[in-house]
Amino acid sequence: MLAPVAWRTPPRHYGPWERVTSLLTEELVKAGHDVTLFATGDSETEARLSAVVAKGYEEDTTVDPKVVECLHIAHCFEKASEFDIIHNQFDFLPLSYSKLVKTPVITTIHGFSSKKILSVYKAYNSTNRYVSISNADRNPDLDYIATIYHGIDIDNFTFNDNRDNDYLLFFGRIHRDKGAAEAIAIAQRAKRKLIMAGIIQDETYFNNAVKPALEKGSVEFIGSVGPKERNTLLGNAYALLHPINFNEPFGLSVIESMACGTPVIAFRKGSMPEIIIHGENGFLADTVDEAVGYLDAIGTIDRMACRRTVEQRFTKDIMAKAYVTAYASIVGNQ
């Protein structure tokens, strides 16, 4: 299992790719599979840990990200003959190593950060196996062996049926893509308190679009939070606002919110229609005004229905079983 090395696996707070990689790795080990995790040296796992990078480059700014990425990926592929499959969770760069080894490579495509990287996926399309994390994120120029949704450890999310919760929550990186400014607009027009949690990915955007609106009791930014605080924030919210400005490949915070019983109001983009059942576990909107209108209808949502959505579709064991099926199809075709 080739993890990214921006953050520790699992991450201490932020690090969605590392989080999914960790959940899948631990579930595979639990099911009796022999797994070696290639990740940062401070990672925590029941698998065999193999590392040449001490800490994630986002946590140790003294290192050069490209240097540690190069060393990390090479370390994995130099040991390729020891494994039946290499599962790449690291984006496009490891594909350039894949023809140098006989071990089959399966790559989870966590999204396309730029149209420019598509050329790499296309170059290795015939010799690699790709998994999409939603049907919406599939590219017509690529071949896929499966769509496998992310899963979470639902036991880490406490169901909360308190319908008197009053604040709205924005939970994600502070960036235009995630719709931080739109979340503020929705809350202000609805005259509801908004709590914002996440890393500041774009400092200029934060200073221009978020900071001027911050006011105690109205719009509050609390920064990035860990698992315990995340569970409390999500469970105690009236609704999660997810007014994204891009075609999001998946959306972990959306299913984490629903696991706590908290409905989601999201913009109808990317994978959101695959996750949110309009009127059942949340609402899909196209504009800020439409999202504001749905806030009054949140009370009609059965919070247990939100939880059931995750139990039936988005747990770590469902994810792991789907990947095992994918692995078996690859090994069986060798």
d(CA 278, CA 268): 10
For residue 334, what pLDDT is reported?
Answer: 54
Residue numbers in the chain where pLDDT is lower than 70: 333-334
C-alpha span between 196 and 22 (Å, rounded): 26
Q: Which pairing describes strands 282-285 and 219-223: parallel, antiparallel, or unpaired?
A: unpaired
Strand order in the sheet with 264-267: 219-223, 194-197, 168-171, 239-242, 264-267, 282-285
pLDDT given for residue 164 in this prediction: 77
pLDDT tens for 156-201 read: 999 999 877 789 999 999 999 999 999 999 999 999 999 999 999 9
The pTM assigned to this predicted structure is 0.93
Q: What is the pLDDT of residue 214?
A: 96
The full set of domains in the chain, from first to last, is 16-151+315-332 (3.40.50.2000), 154-313 (3.40.50.2000)
Query: What pLDDT is recorded for position 227?
Result: 86
Closest C-alpha among 121, 55, 46 to residue 90:
121
